[in-house]
Structure 1
Amino acid sequence: MWTWTICAGRKDFALKKDVMITIKGIQFADNDQDSVELTTVGRLYRRGEAYYICYNESEATGFDGAKTTLKVEGDRRVTMRRTGENMRSQLIIEKGQRHQCVYDTGFGTMMLGISGDDIVSCLNDAGGHLQVRYTLDVNASMASENELQVDVEEYCPS
């Protein structure tokens, strides 16, 4: 049923389950606020202490056809991998750290600085909540402050 570039074919995951995922992204830039929300079915995996949330993007996010995997390492680090036709990105958000990341929009790539402000993970084998706050900069100039909220619930198809 599911094909994920990061999660597919792995035999060493301790947990694999279908889940309902609600993602809300909020961006604050130049005194403006922009938000996008997506609710979709995806997969929740656990390997060791890390949780993986995998889902397909939609037109609502501007990445229709792409697959996204969030690797959540507690309250310390979140890695977002997005792959699709002609695009491949990896963003690393680590509390108290700044990472240089290549971001591919499908129309071109750019180098972003990502500074992790706060990560709160209440994920467990049943699902849970993830909240991430981070700052994006382009060429060392602040571009936006961002918040990502992810809710994961068990999915029972009717």
Structure 2
Amino acid sequence: MSVRSLWIFPAIKEHRDMKKDVWLTISSQQQFAGCDEENIDLQTAATLYERGGKYYIAYEESELTGLEGTKTTVKLDGKTVALIRTGTFPSHMLFAEDERHVGLYQTPVGSEMAIATHTSRVHNTIGENGGHLIIDYTVEVDNSLMGEHHFEMTVSTKPNIQVV
């Protein structure tokens, strides 16, 4: 009788965090109760990076968005998206399909208010070469519907552009 030894070595994967400069195209439609639809379209430079299997997009807000002095980071984890703002107007919003989440929002006058988001759709194809994100959601303040929102972000890689 012979004995065979079988050694199984787990595959060792070298992990390197990815980071690259990208170009964002953002389109947002907002419909507030009793008001006309508001559309916002903008393009900006950003950084796309991967850490721990999740993708992140970070960019500086500008005067055009009314959030000057604020850094926005979008954390993508499959069909869950976190929007984290730091700086002048800090906030944290979470979007997960068919879920309701409550977060804090700091108003321009410095007070905080709790807002709830109910997300009806998250479509995310963003990876290391860019992609597309769509989020449809409603916003509630004090359990009252304030508006319906449609958000789209396209991430395009761009060579030789420095993000400052």
TM range (shorter): 0.7 to 0.9
Query: Which AA in structure 2 matches 1:81?
Result: I
Deviation for aligned residue 1:157: 3.3
Q: 1:69-108 maps to which residues of 2 (within 5 A)?
A: 69-74=73-78, 76-85=79-88, 87-107=89-109, 108=111
Partner residue in 1 for 2:6: none
User: 5+ residue gaps in structure 1?
Assistant: 1-11
**Alpha-carbon spacing, 1:52–1:68, altered in 2? closer, same or farther (3 Å):** same
Partner residue in 2 for 1:53: 57
Give the number of aligned pairs. Answer: 145
- Please, what TM-score do these two structures have when normalized by structure 2? 0.83
Deviation for aligned residue 1:14: 2.1
- Matching of residue 116 in structure 1 with residue 136 in structure 2: no
Between the aligned partners of 1:68 and 1:52, the Cα distance in structure 2 is 10
Between the aligned partners of 2:43 and 2:16, the Cα distance in structure 1 is 24
Partner residue in 2 for 1:27: 30
Between the aligned partners of 2:120 and 2:107, the Cα distance in structure 1 is 24
Partner residue in 2 for 1:8: none
Q: Is contact 1:13–1:45 with CA below 8 Å preserved after alignment?
A: no
Deviation for aligned residue 1:121: 0.4
User: 5+ residue gaps in structure 2?
Assistant: 1-14
Deviation for aligned residue 1:48: 3.2
Q: 1:38-49 maps to which residues of 2 (within 5 A)?
A: 38-49=42-53
Deviation for aligned residue 1:142: 0.5
Deviations 1:24-72 (A, max 9, x none): 1210122521011221111001123321010011111110121000001
Larger radius of gyration: 2
- Matching of residue 144 in structure 1 with residue 147 in structure 2: yes
RMSD: 1.6
Partner residue in 1 for 2:71: 67
State the percentage of identical aligned residues: 34
Structure 1 ranges of 4+ moved more than 6 A: none
Deviation for aligned residue 1:13: 6.3
- Please, what TM-score do these two structures have when normalized by structure 1? 0.85
